[in-house]
Structure 1
Amino acid sequence: MRGLTWDHPRGYAPLDELTRLDLAGANPYGAVPEPITWDRQPLEGFESEPIAKLCRTYDVMVIDHPGLGAATDALVPMEELFEPEDLAGLRFAGRSLDSYRLDGRQWALPLDAATQVAAARPGVRVPSSWPGVREAARSGRMALCLGGPHAFLMFCAVTCGDFLDEEAGQRALELMAELLALADPAVSLRNPIGVLDAMAAGEVDWCPLLYGYVTYPLTFGDAPAWPGRAPGSVLGGTGLVVSRRRIGEIREAVRAHLLRLTSAPVQGTLFPATGGQPAARAVWDTPGFYRDTLATMEAAWVRPRFPGYIALQERSSALIREGLLAGTPARDLLKTLHEEWRTA
């Protein structure tokens, strides 16, 4: 069996360890009919490689939920693999499970859970409100996270998902422009891994909003909120999908792998031990990174999943990033963004 995951230890280390144990012949996490050989794609592959195309090569894939809309014809829904009682005891963080439900069917099971949170070097405090972030940015070594799709994802988070609302959208873009003017300009144009690497190396002290990674020696907390609102954030994480290409031959093996990967021993023990970031709700009750960001995870917004969304997300992010760097007035930039969405 062939699988595809993403090229970061959080994405491949737990899976490779299970395969190693399978090949050794005595896997304490349970036996499967045959192991999976896992290939890797860059994190950006979630945006650049359509799931339906990858289904021609792979049996099981680790995906991000926004790509589902254009892929369901190539996937096996979970209802065709499992009876309701098979999955009845599984509980996942936030809306992780719901994010893979589309057109009345469940297309994936959550593997990894993540959302945008605040991050800082130990001893540095990130304000809990956006007005507080604006004030603190005037005197601290701060960075934003605007690389790839993340300029648009920050915009969505700051608007709490109401990015088509004129007032919320303009307020968010004005805040982002003000913060970017105060931030480290080079670090702010990186993706989350790049910003976290810079923070761990001491190049910057804090970032108000980026996707959290439990393995970094940093302090993480809930995303900033507008007064009277829940923390604004956009759900990330990954899920396991199954290709239709060979399902008649490997149905039982696929079932065994998915049940094992979402089981309490694998999610609660193997994942943390190998640098994973589990989706299991029970893990998110543990002290530290998980409990400190749980409120944000529970409130996180689920992105659209219609065909063409990922390309639209990329275009929107580029428009925001270029507009912020060029000093485009928020009203004009918002009008351009809304035109893109109306066309889509």
Structure 2
Amino acid sequence: MTHPFLDRADLRDRVRAALGQFLQRRRDRLAEIEREALAPVADAIDALVLGGGKRLRPAFAYWGYRGAGGADRDEIVAAVAALELVQASALIHDDVMDGSETRRGEPAAHRRFANLHAASGWRGDRNAFGTAAAILLGDLCLVWSDEMLHASGVDPQTLARARPVFDDMRTEVTIGQYLDVQTQATGDTSTARASLVARFKSAKYTIEQPLVFGAALADGGRLAKAYSAFGLPLGEAFQLRDDILGVFGDPAVTGKPAGDDLREGKRTYLIAAAIERAGTAVFDAHLGDPQLDERGVALLRSTIVDSGALQRTEERIADLTESALDALAEAEITDEARDVLTGLAQAATQRAV
């Protein structure tokens, strides 16, 4: 018989339930302030946080905790669920910075509020309102991540032990976002720079730090080094897969228009590897063009493939994943956790969305 906690769908349901309970309390608080004006704020956060997502960050944190010997508790599930609000904040702000129109097949937060402005016949510029609302929405999610962690029911001593990891993780993802913006501004096309951005913008807060956070919740600080050896290369492999999907992914599956990363001009490892082999001419002419049509997308895709960059990126994903799994094999954790973390590693790097 399968152990119930080996069922990732079961954990996803528990995380979603914890988030739903917390967000209902926050909706009630917003209603006390101004029900009509703030209902769209609660609706937008509910749609993003409860409407989908892979729940990878809570899963890695939970199994980092279990791997360190922690017993299953609802309070721990609520604590790791707070990571989804950190993720929501990053997604909302990322979409504003990238000018993305959609997120998971629905209008991005800034578009959602621009549309609300237009439909309501309000004064001023609809897009400026949408951008301002989305920035505040992302900030609110970050504030609420802190509140959810502290309201989880985990005892103060455990919180004090885990809090520095939680804080460092949020600093790193914010700095990673800045490095991404700054890299696009400088036009740095090196693979070394692309790897640095990927590490701090995504890899560390997606896998490494959630694992270390989970270990801290179980008083398993001894595992921090082992979890980093597993989580950091796996997190980078996760981001590289995301970069490939941003260029070659099926819009029906990813929920974003085909080639959206090319229109946004993202300087990913995939793009940097292509420029190293093919030169800058094609990319200077088309990368970052918000009006890039299907023909332009096809041209950039073929250049990436012909340069060998796609194959090189796939090989790097494979190498990083192998390195991560080797480190996991050596980690002194429970066999149950090792089995689940191996499955999560496969899910993170072999996904289509």
Normalised TM-score (structure 1): 0.26
Structure with more strand by fraction: 1
Structure with more helix by fraction: 2
Normalised TM-score (structure 2): 0.26
